[in-house]
């Protein structure tokens, strides 16, 4: 199905990650009558461990806060913290669960920080919330086992990651879980992996066109221009806060409601084509 054939009624709402914020956004969507798909990582649900990028963001915020005590001009957006965040993130992003947890703890120790406490909206959902979501009519999708960067996986390991997550989610929800959203949304699975998927594979890559890039491979809208224009009205006087509406937020202290709304809007509002793709099968 080509992008041009999608009308306004063929937009689809998708939300990624196993967080309370994402789940609340789905429930809001359902209350408003929208179809919505929530792409989940079983590892976070099973272990009840916040995402490493959430912990990392909080840790870098704490480093900046510590520096601010002696120099009030220091900002969490200062280049040294942006660089530190990127360096640590690229170290952690490709590690498997156990190695990633160890490396994260090693970094916290090196920075002389305790394990940061994630805000409630950033905590993983539990099984009772998963049941609630399914009962509310939320479609569940596959976001891989533990949100690893798939570019670091061999073809076999990627297949195992997708299959393991799909089976767990299917058993936990009773739904067929055929749609797959690539963790971090950038890397394209090898063609052989794409062929083995029973549903669409979704990206969120601002550097590529929105729509169907190849059969079954669909690039979603991270955020629409309309939402970008709307964002400053929420934060009058501080247009820089528009950055809050970007994927994988750079700030970590949103309230539950703002977190739910932001993630719901940021990650997905007006995700194009998935429904169209299904309709065209």
Contact positions vs Zn ion (CB under 5 A): 16-17
What is the smallest separation between the CB atom of 150 and Zn ion, expressed in angstroms? 11
Identity of the residue, 64 or 266, whose beta carbon is nearer to Zn ion in the bound complex: 266
| C-beta closer to Zn ion: residue 16 or 212 | 16
For Zn ion, the nearest residue by Cβ is: 16
Q: How far is the CB of 147 from Zn ion (least distance, A)?
A: 6
Nearer to Zn ion, 10 or 178 (CB): 178
CB of 184 to Zn ion, least distance (A): 6
DSSP one-letter string for the chain: --GGG--GGGEEEEEESSBHHHHHHHHHHHHTT--EEEEE-HHHHHHT---HHHHHHHHHHHHHHHHHTT-TT--TTSHHHHHHHHHHHHHHTTS-HHHHHHHHHHHHHHTT-PPPPPPGGGSBP-HHHHHHHHHTTPEEEE--SS---GGGS-HHHHHHHHHHHHHHHHHHHSS----EE-TTS-PPPPHHHHHH-SS-EEE--TTS-SEEEETTEEEPPSS-HHHHHHHHHHSTT-GGGGGGGSTT-S-----HHHHHHHHIIIIITTEESHHHHHHH-
Q: How far is the CB of 49 from Zn ion (least distance, A)?
A: 15
Q: 19 vs 64, which CB is nearer to Zn ion?
A: 19
State which residue, 64 or 221, has the beta carbon closest to Zn ion: 221
How far apart are CB 201 and Zn ion at their closest, in Å? 14
């Amino acid at each position: 199905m080509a992008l041009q054939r999608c009308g306004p009624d063929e937009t689809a709402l998708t939300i990624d990650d196993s967080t309370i914020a994402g789940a609340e956004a789905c429930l809001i969507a359902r209350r408003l009558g929208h179809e919505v798909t929530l792409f989940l990582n079983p590892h976070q649900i099973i272990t009840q461990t916040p995402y490493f990028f959430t912990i990392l963001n909080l840790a870098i915020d704490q480093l900046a806060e510590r520096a601010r005590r002696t120099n009030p001009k220091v900002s969490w957006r200062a280049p040294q913290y942006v660089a530190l965040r990127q360096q640590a993130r690229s170290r952690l992003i490709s590690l498997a669960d156990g190695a990633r947890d160890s490396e994260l703890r090693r970094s916290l120790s090196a920075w002389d920080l305790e394990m940061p406490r994630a805000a409630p909206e950033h905590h993983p959902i539990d099984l009772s919330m998963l049941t609630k979501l399914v009962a509310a009519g939320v479609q569940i999708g596959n976001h891989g086992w533990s949100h690893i960067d798939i570019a670091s996986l061999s073809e076999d390991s990627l297949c195992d990651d997708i299959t393991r997550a799909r089976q767990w989610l299917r058993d936990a929800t009773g739904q067929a879980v055929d749609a797959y959203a690539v963790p971090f949304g950038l890397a394209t699975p090898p063609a052989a992996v794409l062929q083995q998927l029973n549903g669409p594979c979704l990206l969120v890559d601002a550097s590529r066109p929105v729509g169907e890039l190849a059969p079954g491979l669909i690039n979603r809208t991270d955020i629409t221009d309309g939402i970008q224009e709307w964002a400053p009205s929420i934060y009058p006087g501080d247009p820089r806060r528009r950055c809050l509406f970007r994927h994988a937020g750079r700030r970590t202290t949103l309230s539950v409601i703002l977190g739910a709304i932001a993630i719901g809007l940021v990650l997905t509002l007006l995700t194009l084509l998935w429904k169209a793709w299904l309709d065209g099968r």
